Amino acid sequence: MAATWVPDVSPDSPFSLANIPFGIISSPANPAPHVAIAIGSQVLDLKVLSSYPDFDDLFPALKNYPGIFSNSTLNEFAALGRPVHREVRSTIQNLLSAETSRPEILKDNLGLRQDAVLPQQKVKMHLPMSIGDYTDFYAGFHHAYYVGALFRGPQAALQPNYTHLPVGYHGRASSIVVSGTPIKRPFGQIITDPTAEPKHPTTAPSRRLDIELELGCFISIPNEMGSPIKVTNAEDHIFGYVLLNDWSARDIQTWEYVPLGPFNGKNFATTISPWIVLADALEPFRTKQIDNWTPLQGYLNEGKEENIFGIELQVDLETPQGDSTRICTTSSKYLMWSFPQMIAHHTLGGCPLRTGDLLGSGTISGPSQGERGSFLELSEGGRKDIMLQGMDVRRFLKDGDRITIQGVCGEPGQKVGFGECTGQILQATPQL
């Protein structure tokens, strides 16, 4: 991959020329949300670029979609499908390359460059998609095993269905927020004395507020109701990927989840990173998923081994005092189920997925203590202190804590990453 002419693109930037992630920005000059891509510490404003007189010749696949980069979401662009995404991304890479074949458009056009290439700190990020539905899976093998062992013991850690199908539940799309949005501690019914019988809940702010380190996948091409998506075709229905933190109130969840599963313990907030890394950008980083010793049903058999990505993931906690600690370093290679398998299972009964639907991988953890992607695991169910900088400790999140998730793959100068997925915990609002 050639270098870029865009100034100040650090070799460690997750937004190299090899990436070109898409997002929705607003700027002082263009306050209405619209489409841009990230390059280094800059953004390329695609709404401004579309004012170039030869824009239709540059992007022939978009000729019948005037104003597509003026939209407030990426849904219309996503729905055009992967071949169009690939063509547009390739053209942008050429325009930003130091060896561009069209230097007159941006590289040598100082006027357009001044308007279209903006510092990231000068723009505001917005949710990249209009999200109609959200489904969260449980595909992280080590997380599923360790949490199961905490509550049921090692011999019964995994439920009998776990290796047969991608377990999932439907979440709440209305509370998905973009990185940087503060998260208010939720109220719910909780049990303060787990030894008491019978159980007597109280309504109070969650005392066991947690994170879940996940990867998210956005749907591009929908399927018709009653028409399942074949696992071998599922890649054609994927737009791209984000980092995802499915904030979890463990004490609320523990009391409410029987028999129908998570509800208020999960639906108060989910944070995603603002830049969508297109599916093609992650192709060079395919790797083998966790071995599944159970023979698969035919509809889940992809026919290939390298069906997930080896993204290096990390979680940092910053206390209200400003001390920061890296509490987790792991990898997305620890998934047992791939997103194509999740899509195939999701639609098996004929469920229609729509453009902009979001799928979460479930918590991603590795086999060692420092690779656990939730406080539930790190604190061994709330029984062990997690040591932090500044002589502080945590078992779960305190008010004022800020969580930052990052993910990246690739060599210096060619890194493909997501930027930050961050949120700070605010005090619960007193009930009336």
Catalytic site residues?
143
Tokens of 50: 């579309």
- Residue 23 Cα distances to 40, 123, 322, angstroms: 14, 11, 29
Question: Cis bond leading into 367, ω under 30°?
Answer: no
- Are residues 183 and 319 in contact, defined by beta-carbon separation less than 8 angstroms? no
- What residues pair up with 277 in beta bridges, in sequence order? 241
Between CA 260 and CA 257 the distance in angstroms is 6
Amino acid at 406: Q
- Are residues 178 and 127 in contact, defined by beta-carbon separation less than 8 angstroms? yes
Between CA 103 and CA 69 the distance in angstroms is 22
Question: In the 8-state DSSP scheme, what is residue 146?
Answer: H
CA-based angle 318:172:381, to the nearest 5? 50
Q: Which of 339, 327, 405, 415 is nearest to 371 (CA)?
A: 327
Residues 6+ apart with CB under 8 A from 193: 200
- Are residues 130 and 75 in contact, defined by beta-carbon separation less than 8 angstroms? yes
Q: Is 252 exposed, middle or buried (0-12, 13-18, 19+ CB in 10 A)?
A: buried
β pairing state of 134-137 and 358-360? parallel
Task: Give how far the C-alpha of residue 306 lies from the chain's centroid of Cα atoms, to the nearest Å.
Answer: 20
Max Cα distance, the chain (Å): 76
